[in-house]
Chains A and B, each alone.
Chain A
Amino acid sequence: MHPAPSVIIFTTLSGLGFGLLAFLCLGYPSMGGLVAFVFFAIGFGLAIGGLLSSTFHLGHPERAIKAFSQWKSSWLSREAWLSLFALVLSGIYALGRIFFDIDLAIIGLLSAIFCIATVFATSMIYAQLKTVPRWNSGATPIAFLVFSIAGGALLSGQISVALPLLALAGVIQILSWILGDKAFTQSGTNLATATQLTLNPSEVRSFEAPHTGTNYLLQEFVYKVGRKHSSKLRIMGSILAFGMPIIFLSLPFSHFIALLAVITHIAGMFIIRWLFFAQAEHVVGLYYGKR
């Protein structure tokens, strides 16, 4: 799949932002006034910035409001609603914290639930696609949720929670790579089922593509650049996103080291999210003799 920067930025930043907002709305850390303002500003900045970034890959962003209409069937539409609820509720909670120094606990709890639900809806946009076997598994929502919560714990300074969650996130990422690498073959879709010309996929090959140039399908779904570096990038991504923050957080606390932990985590998550798209193979590539 084509790793569009707008979608990578969106999933990475909004995942982190909603994770952070969930912790803040549960009262971790408990604070008020200017400190609360700064924390919430970071949370809203990441969440809203990510959501805005996602509109850049739309052909007609001016019609984006219509995406709220199909929540009965579409995970993208559900994500729109859930993110709206999450932002409005956590906005109310944040106002209470910043200006009145009160803890609207029930609204805070609801905000946290909607924040996490938003991340779940985002993950289901990818996990629902049978056409992309690597994504079409329970591992996708689990990974998105754990990354978001671990990132939220890190950004909100909940070190004792962040340490085990970052380790767990690393394990889940490695497991989902191991499972994901087999997913396409195990999906049972191959050129033989795609063409119905033979039962044995080794007996059929693409002889000629329908067009000499490229097209939307090849640009969007058959992305091979950088795949040869994937194992190096996996190691780099895991060390940056999970390994280094764990080391930094284990050191005696200082704000500078905490900042380093956050920066390496975000950098690593961008690499991991880039791989999430770049390594995903769509079954339509089979028709072109490509993956």
Chain B
Amino acid sequence: MTLLPEKTEKKLGLVIDLDTCVGCHACVVSCKGWNTENYGAPLSDENAFGAEPVGSFLNRIHSYEVTPADKPAHLVHFPKSCLHCENAPCVTVCPTGASYKRVEDGIVLVNESDCIGCGLCAWACPYGAREMDPIEKVMKKCTLCVDRIYNENLPKEDQVPSCVRTCPAGARHFGDLGDPNSDVSILVEERGGTDLMPEQGTLPVNKYLPPRPKNQMDSTDILAPYLEPIANEPDGFFKWLDKTLDGI
């Protein structure tokens, strides 16, 4: 049923550290790989080696330039995937019940055999988390690697979403954001984790940790003082030398 559960037992989700992400896109590749080979319709590509390739991805990395009025500009890499919202607008608009939010862990999933490919859920999502697969014509979205996190056949360290397992910088964290004592909840508390587009009222479970404040320096360039032209009059021994040499 596409009515949202009043409460979920857990709120599984991701915490993404914008201070640490280096923008390598490794999570994008591992996500595509895992979700093409495992649960659900494969994430297809059209015209993959042609002039205009198009494909479905569940995770994409944007890059933003922030230019504060009083500080130098900096670049922030910005991973974005489904935020598994508590008040998920994509779920309630679904006419067939294909989209649903799980009561046990809060993961938002699509039952692909019920999806008619109308695209309304993607219209309702403000984050661009859902993409219609160009070949299968069903809606694809992040499953939080539901086929990894509960998979007892995998080694313990692999029972996390593929993107989290792959990230070389440790910028992605997975856990229960409904438990205030979980590692991820403590991290969000300590670092001031935020919701994206809070005004949309979606109550996203995934949180974003803002970049840490950069060091403040008096001058924009520490080498600048050394580059000043030396116009000072010499004194002492050099003054005598200067005069003497001028006199020759």
Contacts and interface: CB of A to CB of B under 8 A. Distances in A.
Given A198-B66, A220-B122, A69 B56 contact: no
B39 interface: no
Interface residues of A, number: 59
A70 B94 contact: yes
B123 A129 contact: yes
Interface string A51-67: 00000011111011011
A266 interface: no
A214 interface: yes
A185 interface: no
Contact of B117 (A60, A68, A74, A193): A60
Interface stretch (A87-95, A107-115, A233-241, A281-289): A281-289
A215 interface: yes
Interface residues of B, number: 66
Interface in A271-290: 282-284, 287-288
B13 interface: no
Nearest to B74: A197
B68 interface: yes
A216 B122 contact: yes
A196 B60 contact: no
Interface of A: 1, 57-61, 63-64, 66-70, 72-77, 80, 125, 128-132, 187-189, 191, 193-198, 200, 203-211, 213-217, 219-221, 282-284, 287-288
Interface of B: 1-3, 18, 25, 28, 52-57, 60-69, 75-76, 78, 80, 89, 91-98, 114-120, 122-128, 131-132, 134, 136-138, 194-201, 208, 210-211
8 contacts: A69-B96, A74-B93, A130-B200, A193-B196, A211-B57, A217-B122, A217-B131, A284-B125
Given A74-B93, A206-B63, 11 more contacts: A57-B118, A72-B2, A73-B3, A73-B91, A130-B201, A193-B198, A195-B76, A203-B66, A206-B62, A215-B56, A284-B128
